[in-house]
Chain A
Amino acid sequence: MTTSTQSAELLAATTLLRFATAGSVDDGKSTLVGRLLHDSKSVLTDQLEAVEHASRNRGQEAPDLALLTDGLRAEREQGITIDVAYRYFATPRRRFILADTPGHVQYTRNMVTGASTAELAVVLVDARNGVVEQTRRHAAVAALLRVPHVVLAVNKMDLVDYAEPVFAAIAEEFTAYAASLGVPEITTIPISALAGDNVVEPSAHMDWYGGPTVLEHLETVPVSHDLTGCHARFPVQYVIRPQTAEHPDYRGYAGQIAAGVFRVGEPVTVLPSGRTSTIAGIDLLGDSVDIAWAPQSVTLRLADDIDVSRGDLIAPVGDAPAVTQDVEATVCHVADQPLTVGRRVLLKHTTRTVKAIVKDIPSRLTLDDLSQHPAPGQLVANDIGRVVVRTAEPLALDAYADSRRTGSFLLIDPADGTTLSAGMAGASFAAAEEPPAADDDAEWDF
């Protein structure tokens, strides 16, 4: 929503950016979010009145913008954000979906949730404190989840006299750290969320900074790249067979293109069976098209009448993933009950859910320094660790590094349906370093 002066422009076609914010409790994340919403005129009068009213009832003098996002009774009572909140705002150039994730270490799983669908993550630091443990943790989670763009917002510049050297030192330290994790693109911006410097409006206090404001960057960062180089992937969701007089022989495979581009006439393989055919037609929600790409929801028709059902994966002949029953992955454990070796679980990968068993947990990652703790025995809530899982049926699995959509999976408790872990197949970071061997040389081995 916006003001009347913007309304005409808003009706033009715009793109959608999904992004997540991460920051420690006192880094001013709520203030930044509030500032973005407020200065982009996305907070409407009745919402602001409700916040002002609630703030007054609590005896606060200024409206507490955190109340805009803390939607649950328990959150307002405790004054903390428990759960991911999604916020929506728009400028004439772009629509935004903001996953506002809690900053506390015990909510790592919520940052994972927010980052899993984000194309950009804003990591906040306090200019007075610089890069701290929690900053490294957030950068590591963004790298692990392969969020394509990371913004470091160095906040509270007003409290360090808007001094360039303070910003430069923090930016350099963070950039070096994030680059070592394999974060592909890092943008650093000096801001004061409280004073409004470089959030929506350029700062009058930092002439030395020539880059974009946070909002400008959000508006211009590319949301899609050249998909022609991606491995094309199409998980079959549902078979459409009308069996009506009008469409007696229609047989279409409905799904959302997970990656890449598909064209009519292209030879394809259906996994896990390995049968091949050719794309005879692509229906884009009722219209026939020659080409379709991620993340469009389409229906593919094949030239041959072969066995294809929900859970299968259609990929170009010659560019299909290997099929495997042995999954090596990094998982973020999101449930309160631990994940243990030998545990029987369900594994949900794209549209396929199979039985699986946890064969091994070789290591647990210490996010603070990225060291691997060998053989932890189990993973508890918010732990990130390596696992080896054996599945009852073959999966057409990509490395998460190659495809966020076909390289990710859930582990689910078969007894009560709880989502246990978020899984990412393959090596955990771009550096692809294997966990170091346990340094037990000094230990007695008998």
Chain B
Amino acid sequence: MTTVATVSEDTGYPYALSHLDSLESEAVHIFREVAGEFERPVILFSGGKDSILMLHLALKAFAPAPVPFALLHVDTGHNFPEVLEYRDRTVAEHGLRLHVASVQEYIDAGKLRERPDGTRNPLQTVPLTEAIQQHRFDAVFGGGRRDEEKARAKERVFSLRDEFSQWDPRRQRPELWQLYNGRHAPGEHVRVFPISNWTELDVWQYIQRERIELPAIYFAHEREVFNRSGMWLTAGDWGGPKEHESTETRQVRYRTVGDMSCTGAVDSDATTLDAVITEIAASRLTERGATRADDKMSEAAMEDRKREGYF
């Protein structure tokens, strides 16, 4: 975008920024603060739209130099193949370094046990926190947004985690102006959320404006799915459907990308970004309410997981 194009014409104020430009500028500032203050930062990268957006912002923040951070993917073992393909292609295209922490390896080694419901999202915490310790990452970028969930709405942009990666919501540092305090003791680290202030619609509008490529599962396509607790889950090797559940082919798309065992698809005709944005703007459900089983476990499911080290 050129400067001229970012001026919001209907405001009458020559130096007004559009809301997307404000959010972009803030996120870039956060990326650069971390680059300036930390030794070993890493970007959590799942191949979902929020982490794709983060990587895009990081690329812009340091252009024309390369992104000075590695990526870390917590691989649940139940990923969408299209997303893994996207991940590897992106890493190669931008010459990035990728670390992978594998839930499957932890299960195979007997260090984690499969849950009876087959959901692997909560199992990510241990491989994530151990990877952080092992690589001595001191700043870990996450794509969490405050509009996603009420516990996330309480999290700081710079969120100090102790040596066990735990979050203590009652001991958070006040966050004043744009002065982020990243001081931490050895062994501790800071979770950093550059897109805290973005909403789902902001993310999609920005993806459209910047013409950012996404994995195909975000757009309407035919898929073999089955219904479990009111959500359309992808049939596959990960453990669905069970005997009493039956599959059918529907035209669907995904609003979030997570573990296949708990990420539901929504019925959709939206095959383009324009159509996706129109659908989201009209939706009466939040993205997590529509498509995430793990958040429905209890009123404080996210808070409890975050306390343990989840992002």
Contact = CB atoms under 8 A, between A and B. Distances in A.
Given A74-B170, A289-B2, A334-B174, A296 B199 contact: no
Contacts of B281: 1-2, 4, 6-7, 10-11
B285 interface: yes
Contacts of B29: 237, 255-256, 297
A71 B176 contact: no
Contacts of B297: none
B175 interface: yes
A1 B283 contact: yes
Contacts of B60: 285-286
Contact of A289 (B3, B152, B154): B3
B65 A44 contact: no
Nearest to B57: A285
Contacts, number: 239
A37 to B, nearest CB: 12
Instruction: Please provide the 9 A-B residue pairs with the shortest distance between their CB atoms, ordered closest to farther.
Output: A417-B183, A46-B289, A71-B150, A7-B281, A4-B282, A16-B19, A242-B65, A297-B28, A285-B60
Given A86-B153, A410-B181, A419 B174 contact: yes
Interface of A: 1-4, 6-8, 10-16, 44-47, 50, 54, 68-74, 76, 82-88, 90, 94-95, 97, 109-110, 112-113, 116-117, 222-227, 237-238, 240-242, 244, 246-247, 250, 254-256, 261, 283-287, 289-297, 310, 334, 346, 348, 350-351, 404-405, 408-410, 412, 416-419, 422
A418 B173 contact: yes
Counting chain B residues whose Cβ lies within 8 A of the other chain, the interface size class is: 35 or more
B185 A417 contact: yes
Nearest to B13: A224
Nearest to A250: B64
Interface string B264-283: 00000000000001101111
B303 interface: yes
Interface stretch (B30-38, B84-92, B213-221): B30-38
Contact of B290 (A46, A255, A417): A46
B65 A419 contact: no
A398 B282 CA distance: 46
Contacts of B246: none
B299 A50 contact: yes
Contact of A254 (B61, B184, B278): B61
19 contacts: A1-B199, A1-B281, A11-B281, A13-B18, A14-B8, A44-B284, A70-B150, A72-B170, A73-B303, A74-B169, A86-B196, A113-B175, A113-B176, A238-B36, A256-B29, A287-B3, A297-B24, A351-B33, A405-B177
Contact of A296 (B2, B25, B154): B25
- Residue of B146, B284, B299 with most chain A CB atoms under a 10 A cut-off: B284
A247 B64 contact: yes
Interface string B1-25: 1110000111101111111111111
A44 B289 contact: yes
A410 B63 contact: no
A295 B22 contact: yes
Contacts of A2: 281
Contact of A11 (B14, B199, B205, B289): B205
Interface of B: 1-3, 8-11, 13-26, 28-29, 32-33, 35-36, 60-66, 146-147, 149-154, 160, 169-170, 172-179, 181, 183-185, 196-197, 199-202, 205, 277-278, 280-286, 289-290, 299-300, 303
B277 A11 contact: yes
B199 A242 contact: no
B151 A412 contact: no
Contact of B300 (A73, A254, A296, A409): A73
Contact of A225 (B8, B13, B35, B283): B13
Contacts of A246: 64
Contact of A71 (B173, B177, B303): B303
A113 B174 contact: yes
A11 B172 CA distance: 35
A261 B15 contact: yes
A241 B62 CA distance: 9
A311 to B, nearest CB: 9
A19 B13 CA distance: 19
Nearest to B175: A113
Nearest to A351: B36
A164 to B, nearest CB: 33
A44 B283 contact: yes
Contacts of A240: 62-65
